[in-house]
Structure 1
Amino acid sequence: MVQKQGKENAFTRRGCKNTKSRKAIISLLEKAETPLSAEEIFLQLKEAGVSANLSTVYRNLELMESLGLAGKMVMNDGKARFEITGEGHKHHLICTSCHKMIAIDFCPMESLQKDVIDKTNFDITGHKLELYGVCPECRKTE
């Protein structure tokens, strides 16, 4: 994963200020085990004593996404969640009941991607995989 200092410097390299709230959002996303919504980030910033309103969080997340520092995924509940980007890419299992997300630590798309390239001569520059279902905890309660 790209080091925190590299992420923070990405702001200044592109002519943007490296504000306290941006540093705090980067830190939260790096520590998060699952992608976070803007509301979750806002509440965690508030708990940490970082002064930022919800619209500031949204603007900073949009900026981070445009700079390639954060990735955005819109869930089937309509909520956008964000995660820090790093080297490589991530795939997720997503529970349709509790919306828990589990990162898949390998790429199940590699062989499919190779087959698609071989058959279509398409220059694939990336992909994203989200598998939806019901997690073991939610299955127990059904």
Structure 2
Amino acid sequence: MEQNILKNAALKSTKKRQVLLLLLQKQARPMTAEELHALAEPILPMNVSTVYRTLNTLTEKKILIRSVRQDGKAYYSLAKKDHSHRLVCDLCGKVIPVDTCPLSELEETLQQKTGFRITGHSLEFTGLCPECSKKDTDEK
């Protein structure tokens, strides 16, 4: 699968790109460059700078989505061709997918008003998961 993604983006299929894409696919949650480096290192040694360059390239080619969270860190996830929604815990990093799409009507309205052809979207809510919220309340 990784080879097809890279080929469709007119990128050479390197082992490093394949490993990073595979890790993002297996983890099924947005990850930082440092997290990816730590997971990739035992599989295929590479410098952190190589991870950053590769992630930037994959983001530029719209294979990945880069989002900066309230902790100031950049997180990377696989780009889906349609759209995605998720809840993300600020403390533990847990990601809960949201199956419904509350933006369908807004998307249609925006297309009609602006003539912009929307090809996808992503929506991320941040906050505290029930476990972290309980811990936070107990600590206060």
TM range (shorter): 0.7 to 0.9
- Whole-Å separation in 1 of the counterparts to 2:38 and 2:111: 44
Structure 2 match to 1:29: 24
Structure 1 ranges of 4+ moved more than 4 A:
none
Please say if residues 42 and 52 of structure 1, whose CA atoms lie closer than 8 Å, have aligned partners that are also in contact. Answer: yes
Number of residue pairs matched?
135
Query: Match for 1:43: what amino acid?
Result: A
> How much identity, in percent, do the aligned residues show?
33
Which residue does 1:40 correspond to in 2?
Answer: 35
User: Aligned with 2:93: secondary structure?
Assistant: coil
Shift of 1:64: 0.4
TM-score w.r.t. length of structure 1? 0.82
Q: Deviations over 1:33-84 (max 9, x none)?
A: 2111000000001132x11010000000000011111111111101011111
In the alignment, residue 123 of structure 1 is paired with which amino acid?
Answer: F
- Which residues of structure 2 form unaligned runs of 5+? none
Is 2:96 aligned against 1:102? yes
Q: 1:56 maps to what in 2?
A: 50
**TM-score, normalization by structure 2:** 0.83
Say whether the 8 Å CA contact 1:72–1:83 is kept in structure 2.
yes
| Residues 19 and 115 of structure 1, relative CA distance in 2, 3 Å threshold | closer
Q: Are residue 20 (structure 1) and residue 15 (structure 2) matched?
A: yes
Query: Which amino acid is the alignment partner of residue 68 of structure 1?
Result: K
- Name 1:6's counterpart in structure 2: 4
Contact 1:34 1:103 in 2 (8 A): no
